[in-house]
Structure 1
């Protein structure tokens, strides 16, 4: 009996040592994204926000004394590329993959069951398409409000303006098809809005034809749902087809990128936003974000929502890691769910009720100089 108690005491006393051994060294996280193929600057700007936050965190001593290493890899905007980069990075044991981008890639990751076998978690996948969230995956955590929430906000806003019809130009991808379904559901909920749909591939001729089909029905507004490049080209095509009414799109298309696609046709377009205004100065989050960006990226003079998204993602990861019993994938997942609300100084994230942390949505309107007015 005495021998058994001594063994049990030895095992208990060894547990902190084991945890320390597991938690020794730098904390590795990875960002796999389309850095060389996607024309829009989204992955690069996400990375710049991540880097700014981790430089800030490491400069203050890291996470419980450990520095964070961010590994950046290019997947060429394909699922096969994503899998190849996973094979390269997994030997380094990243505890989290941050902000992977692409609805087809992410759906492939879920449909193939690959995520089931990976010893890592994903924090803040982009986009927020419903097919990536319902039913979702226990290792996949979304910070940003989803496409359904963005589209509900857009449709409700349109109805408040007494708009009674909306043309939906959507890409033949999961982000587009689930976006159309969300628009129909939102229209049915608010009532009084007719949805006119047009599906399109990515070729310019296909987009132009779909835009003309919508223009022929003369809707009082239009919504474009798809990848950033598709959305920019879709809005330009709608303007070229004669659609002068209010056009909306989702948060993945930055206003400056839209202006490059559509020129002055970008003016007045409403873009759903899932994070606070990156140009704001009023909240503690705004001030911390701007200070970190200015220190890490002094050559960048204008900040975008994707900069803010990357910064917030890194901050949420750091808060979860600080509170985790062990900085492992399972420890991070448990910490995200157990910790309740993360208040980043004006933007709150809470995973206690599920794997979507925020429902915050606003609409910014593109100005004549390619900026967003909230």
Structure 2
């Protein structure tokens, strides 16, 4: 759910950018093409807010070698064809040094199929979700700053084996993100001795999964692993719990605590486990999260949620800025070449692109549980 204040913040930011000259001398343009409306609007906005807070902090400190960052956005409404159109448009119209926070496996798959990155030669930093085929081998202009789906599924299934939950049901989105995740779960499960006793597909964008309740119960699973987009994952928790099914639920990181509690209520959401690919964004117990809090307090909207999606956006922004500092503001192939060699220690969170084949910076994964307060407990 996007707050009223956040909507005003976004609208004001857009007006401010429109007022500035698109060809302002000395600025470095960075762009985000993502869903700001539709089922994943909350994630797109959270990424944007985290990135903008850091870019504004950099600008307040004088920019990059004296050049200010102009951060622009376009709403693709989570439609792959719009993502393709808008990335091409922005690349030609605004000449960005980089894109950040590209969202949606079907959207990124469309960009690769249409060879958009090959044509525009502009890197994109921060890609969600972490579908394995988009990471390994991936694309030389797509850079990943958080752990991917394979790392998350391996962590969850290892944990389930440890606690004795070796019969699981998998519910997956019927898009590349979901089908690839299912394949990884089957592969990893076989290696670990975790049996997939049933699997069910959820259509793209679905926010009603009541039809899964009976086939789920018939599986006899000890645990459900859901490989779903945020809105579908929240709907799954709501519909399954309202039907009286108390089987433990484990999700990949894309489902948020706020989304689940908004859809299902705190009581039904309590106990749902969610893989995490960032440190706890709400608790400033590391240098990275303290820096993140400082940027958000100074430059973010007052009611912004300090979520993993916001922190991921912030991480993408920090990565781009570090690359631009090393290239003196040059974008495109020069920036991509620097990023492939980039190693960063960000106060307890490491990015090591050379170790990840040049485009994968992190494989860190943790597991958190939604508590009785509705917050994630790590």
Does TM-score exceed 0.5, indicating one fold? yes
Alignment of 1:111-260 (within 5 A): 111-202=113-204, 207-260=209-262
1:333 aligned residue (336, 345, 359): 336
Q: CA contact under 8 A between 1:201 and 1:207: conserved in structure 2?
A: no
Corresponding residue for 2:372? Answer: 368
Distance apart, 1:206 and its partner CA: 7.3
Q: Are residues 1:62 and 2:63 paired? A: yes
Offset from partner CA, 1:15-62 (integer Å, 9 cap, x none): xxxxxxxxx711111001110112551111111100111111111121
Distance apart, 1:202 and its partner CA: 4.9
Distance apart, 1:195 and its partner CA: 4.1
Corresponding residue for 2:269? Answer: 266
Q: CA contact under 8 A between 2:326 and 2:338: conserved in structure 1?
A: yes
Q: TM-score, normalised by structure 2?
A: 0.88
1:323 aligned residue (322, 326, 331): 326
1:286 aligned residue (284, 289, 297): 289
Q: CA contact under 8 A between 2:88 and 2:116: conserved in structure 1?
A: no
CA–CA distance in structure 2, aligned partners of residues 127 and 203 of structure 1: 15
Which range is displaced more, 171-180 or 110-119? 110-119
Q: SS of the counterpart of 1:310? A: helix
Corresponding residue for 2:102? Answer: 100
Q: SS of the counterpart of 1:136? A: coil
Distance apart, 1:163 and its partner CA: 0.6
CA–CA distance in structure 2, aligned partners of residues 39 and 118 of structure 1: 26
Distance apart, 1:192 and its partner CA: 4.0
Distance apart, 1:302 and its partner CA: 3.9
CA–CA distance in structure 2, aligned partners of residues 335 and 195 of structure 1: 46
Question: Compared with structure 1, are the counterparts of its residues 200 and 94 closer, same or farther at alpha carbon in structure 2 (3 Å cutoff)?
Answer: same
Q: CA contact under 8 A between 2:271 and 2:369: conserved in structure 1?
A: yes
Q: CA contact under 8 A between 2:147 and 2:362: conserved in structure 1?
A: yes
Which range is displaced more, 288-297 or 300-309? 300-309
Q: SS of the counterpart of 2:348? A: coil
CA–CA distance in structure 2, aligned partners of residues 236 and 158 of structure 1: 22
CA–CA distance in structure 2, aligned partners of residues 326 and 229 of structure 1: 38
CA–CA distance in structure 1, aligned partners of residues 286 and 364 of structure 2: 16
Offset from partner CA, 1:311-336 (integer Å, 9 cap, x none): 11111111111112661211111111
CA RMSD after TM alignment: 1.8
Which range is displaced more, 194-203 or 251-260? 194-203
CA–CA distance in structure 2, aligned partners of residues 125 and 298 of structure 1: 23
Q: CA contact under 8 A between 2:105 and 2:177: conserved in structure 1?
A: yes
Larger radius of gyration: 1
Distance apart, 1:212 and its partner CA: 2.2
Q: CA contact under 8 A between 2:28 and 2:329: conserved in structure 1?
A: no
Corresponding residue for 1:305? Answer: 308
CA–CA distance in structure 2, aligned partners of residues 365 and 110 of structure 1: 35
Distance apart, 1:114 and its partner CA: 2.0
Q: CA contact under 8 A between 1:167 and 1:196: conserved in structure 2?
A: yes
Which range is displaced more, 205-214 or 215-224? 205-214
Corresponding residue for 2:77? Answer: 76
Q: CA contact under 8 A between 1:169 and 1:210: conserved in structure 2?
A: no
Consecutive unaligned residues of structure 2, counting only runs of 5 or more, are 1-24
Offset from partner CA, 1:273-303 (integer Å, 9 cap, x none): 1011111222221211111101112512641
Q: CA contact under 8 A between 1:40 and 1:229: conserved in structure 2?
A: no
Q: SS of the counterpart of 2:127? A: coil
Question: Compared with structure 1, are the counterparts of its residues 224 and 365 closer, same or farther at alpha carbon in structure 2 (3 Å cutoff)?
Answer: same
CA–CA distance in structure 2, aligned partners of residues 278 and 192 of structure 1: 31
Flag as ranges the 4+ runs of structure 1 deviating above 3 A: 192-195, 202-206
Q: CA contact under 8 A between 1:272 and 1:361: conserved in structure 2?
A: yes
Q: CA contact under 8 A between 2:208 and 2:235: conserved in structure 1?
A: no
Q: TM-score, normalised by structure 1?
A: 0.89
Q: SS of the counterpart of 2:364? A: coil
